[in-house]
Every structure is written in C-alpha cells, then in structure tokens.
Amino acid sequence: MSGGSLGGMMALEWALLGKHFVRSMVLVATAARQSHWAIAWSENQLASIKPDSKFRGGRYGGDPPRDGLAAARMAAMISYRTHSSFEKMLLKVSGTRNGTRAPFAVDVQRAERNDGHYDNSGIFLAQSYLRYQGEKFNARFDANCYLHILDKIDSHDIARVRYPSLSDDEAILSDLSQIRKPTLVVGVPTDGLYPPSEQIFLS
C-alpha cells in the first residue's frame, strides 16, 4: 500500500491492525502523529471556513461557503512548501522575481469575481496563484468533507490507546517496532507540513 499525507497515515494504521491487511508500504511525506505545527495550519483553515456567512454551521445546502473554502485552500497551499520552494516554483513558472505584479496563468477577472476592487495591475503573482488554487479547489471539493478530512488528519496518532502505560514517545516507538512489512519511507525536502525529520523518525 502506498500513500502520502493522510494516505500514509491510513497505511500505518492498517499495518498495525493485522498482518493480513498490508503486505508492503510506501509512505510519502507523512507522520506517525500529527504535529503541533500541522494542527496549527489546520486550525488556520478551520478559521477560514467556519466564519464564512454561508457556512451556516455546516447546513449550507446548495449555497456553499466558497470564500471560506478558497481561503482555507490558499493557506494549505502555502503549508505544502517551504519559503525557498515557493519562490522557486513561481520563478520557474513565470520567469519573474518575487514582488512582481503579474497575473498567473489564470483568468484573473474570473478568479476575483468576489473581490472586484482589485484591478489586474495591482495583483501580485503570488496572490493570483493562490486565488486560482482556491477557485479550482471549490470546483471539486465540499467544505464539510474538507473539515472532516482535517479532523481525521489532526487526530492521527498511532500510539493512541495501544500502550496506555507508556509515554507518548515510547508508545509510538513500540508501535513502529511492531511493523515488520517491507516499507519505503519517502521524504520531500520542500514540504513545509511534513518535513523530512518526520520521515526519518518513521524509518
């Protein structure tokens, strides 16, 4: 089984549930337990979605909180990269340096339909990129589903209830020692959410 982020977390849990669930694993940019840092980024996203006037406690029907979900996605896109990798990504795509006021490869008028006080000449490249990502996410994702996924990720901890007499760190190490399946652990140096130190701990 292979998976990144939540997929890797699920693979770890299934590997611990029984020998017949998993034969081998590839774990990419994931962790044995969600870190304080990652939970803080999730909270940032929750605080973007829930205050949206259209969220209505999750009972929004056919009029979803598009602005809140887009803002949450913008925060997530930043968390997936380090400072240097974000700069390099925009430089590679645009050929321009930081601070450039230029639209990303997107219909800026459409991306800013709820933000009409900006004109094209006043939008930074990074702003345009993030707004585009927010709009694209709205086209394929539901806010309530996203909140549930965030909750599942934030509550991930392979040590939970398995070794109550041990400290948290001892419990995690005991859990990891029980996994005897062939496993490849892959870290992504530019990942700002699950840095390679998390994968080094897993391996």
pLDDT value at residue 9: 96
pLDDT value at residue 21: 85
- Can you tell me the distance from the alpha carbon of 190 to that of 188, in angstroms, rounded to the nearest whole number? 6
pLDDT value at residue 95: 67
3-state secondary structure string across the chain? CEEECHHHHHHHHHHHHCCCCCCCEEEECCCCECCHHHHHHHHHHHHHHCCCCCCHHHCCCCCCCHHHHHHHHHHHHHHCCCHHHHHHHHHHHHCCCCCCCCCCCCCHHHHCCCCCCCCHHHCCHHHHHHHHHHHHHHCCCCHHHHHHHHHHHHCCECCCCCCCCCCHHHHHHHHHHHCCCCEEEECCCCCCCCCHHHHHHHC
pLDDT value at residue 160: 87
State pTM to two decimals. 0.83
- Can you tell me the distance from the alpha carbon of 199 to that of 203, in angstroms, rounded to the nearest whole number? 6
pLDDT value at residue 91: 84
Instruction: From first to last of the 203 residues of the chain, give the pLDDT tens digit.
Output: 888 999 999 999 999 987 788 999 999 999 999 999 999 999 999 999 999 999 999 999 999 999 999 999 999 999 999 999 999 988 886 666 655 555 544 444 444 444 444 445 567 888 989 999 999 999 999 999 999 999 999 999 999 888 888 998 899 999 999 999 999 999 999 999 999 999 999 98
Residue type (1 letter), 32 = A
Q: Which structural domains are found in the chain, ordered by start? A: 2-33+156-202 (no CATH), 38-150 (1.10.1740.110)
pLDDT value at residue 36: 97
